[in-house]
Amino acid sequence: MSASAEATVLITHDVGLHARPSVKFTKLAKSFAAEVEVAVAANGPWFDAKSIVKVMAAKAPKGTVLHIRARGDGAEEAVGALVDLVQRDFDEDRDHARSA
């Protein structure tokens, strides 16, 4: 039986899950071997979290509860890392501090 994990996280970033945040999200998802999916509703539709096109198509604004699930090797780590990224507002504050 393969490992699986699920979690939800509230998007608090001002622009939600749009261009830069989506790139960061999918890049992090791709760093794990597990199959990672994301949805903006608990009952789906679920889509591939490693696809920038599909993640951006979700158009998840600030205040959206993002549902993340993973199956396979590193599933728990993948979900934890993605939740952490969203909770850190996709590191946007850190990025702006570097460019200032």
Catalytic residues: 18
**Percent helix, strand and coil across the chain, each to the nearest 5:** 40, 25, 35
Q: In degrees, to the nearest 5, what angle opens at C-alpha 39 toward C-alphas 84 and 82?
A: 15
Q: Which helix (H) or strand (E) holds 7?
A: strand 4-10
Distance CA 34, CA 21 (A): 21
